[in-house]
Amino acid sequence: MDTSRRRFLRRTAGLSAIGLSGLAGCTGGDGGGSTGTSSGSTGGSTDTPEKQTASDERVVTGSELDEFERVEIEIQSYTRSLLPQRYEWTFLFRDQWVEKLGVDANVTIGEVNKIFGNWVDVNYDVNMAGWSGKPSRIDPTTFLNAFTTDGGLYTPNYTNPDYDDLVGEFQRETDRDRRQELAYEAQQILAEDQPVVFLFAADALTATNTDNWSNYTNQIGDQNFTQVWNLQSMTPTGDVQAAVKAGNLFPATLNPMAPTKSGDLMGLKMVYDRLIRLGPKGQPQPWAATDWDAVDPQTVDVTLREGMTWHDGEAVTPEDVKFTIEYLQEWKVPYMQSFYTDIESVEVTGSNGVRFTLSQPRASFIGVDLSLLFIMPQHIWDGLPEREGLEHPREYQDTEYIGSGPFTVQDFSQSDRVVWQVYDDHFADFDINAFIWSKYGGKAAALGDVESGDASFVESLQASQYNRVKGQSGIGAENVSQHGWKAIYMNNDRRPFSDKQFRIAASHATDRERAAEIVYDGLADIQNGPIAPANEFWHNPDLPTYDGGAGEARDILFAAGYRWDEDGNLLMPKE
């Protein structure tokens, strides 16, 4: 693998001594298209491979069959139009499990809200999932926390008290080298337990129009250009003044009390300021806060920028910051919960100061939590549920979107387009006058508009699309190794996935290298844990690998009490 394209991420890893983590998961872009629905029934490959037959001593017949039951599983994944690469490797891995293990595997292809919702609710046998590589996830707090018993969103119902203790210590520890040791130990436990089959981290492939625009800023992660830093630096070279993002990821809401996925957060950050923003290389940068000071491991003072105003002209005050945290804690927003849970109190100090007191040391508080928590206007949201007759503020159908961020919402009336206008009274400067986020029915159409100049940039391309435009005049094609990753999520509360030995056997039967070559043209890093190899400082390079193929997988299953029938169907002992 060409190591030159790994350098950008690797030289940024572990920058903050206090750590960088991030928000909980998302589908993780695969270079897809629209969110069009499918039948929701079995879909994809029309041919199911033939199962391997077992040697005589591993086959049960006659009355012995009454002691066993066939292993039948449902695999959930996304439509070809939404995530074509994931769709493809879903059936590759299904075929490998059927052939090598002898399972009966039915693939259910569904609409994004259904499959993603099932992942959130752990309503699956197997869910083909992915985590996006946001800048806030360079620090592995989010990825490690995702496998704790109580702390993670999208948990696969995995539990290990030793692992929980390690991650808890990791979150409290502030010494960078000690945090690395704890992260290595946590990855080792996950690699040995295999709560999910870790697959690979696909490279971030993008294309920009360089005829109409210059000075793009590429931020680490898989949504490289949908960042304020890029929008600030983009310079029009002609008459086009509105930057246009083309793609399929799209915000479902701009209500700061209702986000459920990464697209929502990406849209909200255009409208609502945060105290800190992560810079292009992932380092904390002043934003609504001009300064901060860790007084002690549980006390952080911040200084609010003077002269900020809400989009309706009202002044932004420290009282708004205090109100926001207390409002979140009162009403609960699950997607944001890990970022405010450890805040014990917020105190206004002086005319422009705020003091955060934490219930326990939290290494990622400054570098992550304060970079993800939006500031909300108290004069808009205080008492809103009572005035509007709502059970929860997430139900508010906002039409004005009053924030203090760099953009105001000009139009969010369509399901495939949102138009932001630059807020002239914001402290940040822009050469663009607007930002348009357009949702396309497929990446081919999105890339075509970038080539023609009707769009400015597109992210999460497929390898074939990236290779086609690489070197093309008027197009900047970039390829960056990144830290988001894909995995086969197995519900650890359901048989056979409640059996660690079955999970390990399934991992041996999963040929990651072949899928990476077929689906990603080799533009992906194989991984055996939740920290991608490109995230070099935090990645444990000495994890056990599971590449023994069918032979190793079947040996493990036989030793664990599994058998096969004469037709090659895998059997597990009845409960």
Instruction: Give me the pLDDT at residue 228, please.
Output: 94
263 shares its domain with 185: no
End-to-end Cα separation, the chain, in angstroms = 46
pLDDT at 17: 30
- What contacts 123, CB < 8 A, 6 or more positions away? 117
pLDDT recorded at residue 308: 98
Give the tens place of pLDDT for each residue, 167-220. Answer: 999 998 988 899 999 999 999 999 999 999 999 999 999 999 999 999 999 887
Q: Do residue 155 and residue 293 come from a single domain?
A: no
pLDDT value for 40? 39
**Range with the lowest mean pLDDT among 37-41, 408-412, 497-501, 552-556?**
37-41
Determine, yes or no, domain membership for 172: yes
The stretches of 377-532 forming alpha helices (DSSP H) are 378-381, 384-388, 443-452, 463-469, 500-508, 512-520
Whether residues 487 and 554 fall in one domain: yes
Three-class DSSP labels, 183-201:
HHHHHHHHHHHCCEEEEEE
Q: Is the pLDDT of residue 124 over 60?
A: yes
Task: List the domain range (segments joined by +) for residue 380.
Answer: 249-405
- Reported as a single tens digit per residue, the pLDDT across 304-361 is 999 999 999 999 999 999 999 999 999 999 889 889 999 999 999 989 999 999 999 9
Please, which pLDDT band fits residue 6 given cuts at 50, 70 and 90?
very low
Indicate whether 283 and 350 sit together in one domain: yes
**Same domain, residue pair 192 and 276:** no
Which of 76-90, 148-162, 319-333 has the lowest average pLDDT? Answer: 148-162
Cα–Cα distances in angstroms (integers) from residue 565 to residues 1, 57, 65, 67, 447, in the given order? 42, 11, 8, 12, 50
Confidence of residue 81 (pLDDT cuts 50, 70, 90): confident
Phi, psi of 48, rounded to the nearest 5 degrees:
-100, 130
Q: Establish if 435 belongs to a structural domain.
A: no
Instruction: Indicate if 131 and 261 belong to the same structural domain.
Output: no
Domain assignment present for residue 322? The answer is yes
Indicate whether 21 and 137 sit together in one domain.
yes
What are the tens digits of pLDDT across the range 126-149? 999 999 888 888 889 989 999 999
Please identify, among 372, 405, 438, the residue that sits at the C-terminal boundary of a domain.
Answer: 405
Within a 13 Å sphere around the CA of 198, how many CA atoms are in the beta-carbon half?
27
What would the DSSP string read from start to end of 267-318? Answer: HHHHHS-BSEEE-TTS-EEESSEEEEEEEETTEEEEEEPTT-B-TTSPBP-H
Question: For residue 395, is pLDDT > 60?
Answer: yes
pTM over 0.85: no
Whether residues 561 and 499 share a domain: the answer is yes
Tell me how far apart the alpha carbons of residues 467 and 520 are, in angstroms, rounded to a whole number.
Answer: 11
The reported pLDDT for the residue numbered 14 is 35
pLDDT at 19 over 70: no
Looking at the structure of the chain, the number of domains it has is 2
Q: 405, 429, 452: which is the final residue of a domain?
A: 405
122 and 17 both lie in a single domain: yes
The answer to whether position 76 is within a domain reads yes
265 and 123, same structural domain? no
* Domain assignment present for 468: no
Do 371 and 259 fall into the same domain? Answer: yes
pLDDT (tens digit, 9 = 90+) per residue, 263-273?
899 999 999 99
Amino acid 44: pLDDT: 41
Q: How many helices (H) and strands (E) does the chain have?
A: 18, 24
Q: Answer yes or no: is 476 within a domain.
A: no
- Which CATH number is 355's domain given? 3.90.76.10
Could you tell me if 78 and 112 are in contact, meaning their C-beta atoms sit under 8 angstroms apart?
Answer: yes
What is the signed CA dihedral for 257, 262, 266, 269, rounded to 10 degrees?
A: 40
Model confidence at 112: pLDDT above 60: yes
Q: Which of 357, 376, 405 is the C-terminal boundary of a domain?
A: 405
Residue 35 clears pLDDT 50, i.e. is over it: no
Same-domain status, 130 and 53: yes
Domain assignment of residue 319, yes or no? yes
Tokens of 561: 């009490």
Res. 37: pLDDT tops 70: no
Is position 230 within any domain?
Answer: no
DSSP state letter for 369: I
pLDDT at residue 266 in the model: 92
> pLDDT exceeding 90 applies to what percent of the chain?
77
pLDDT at 1 over 60: no
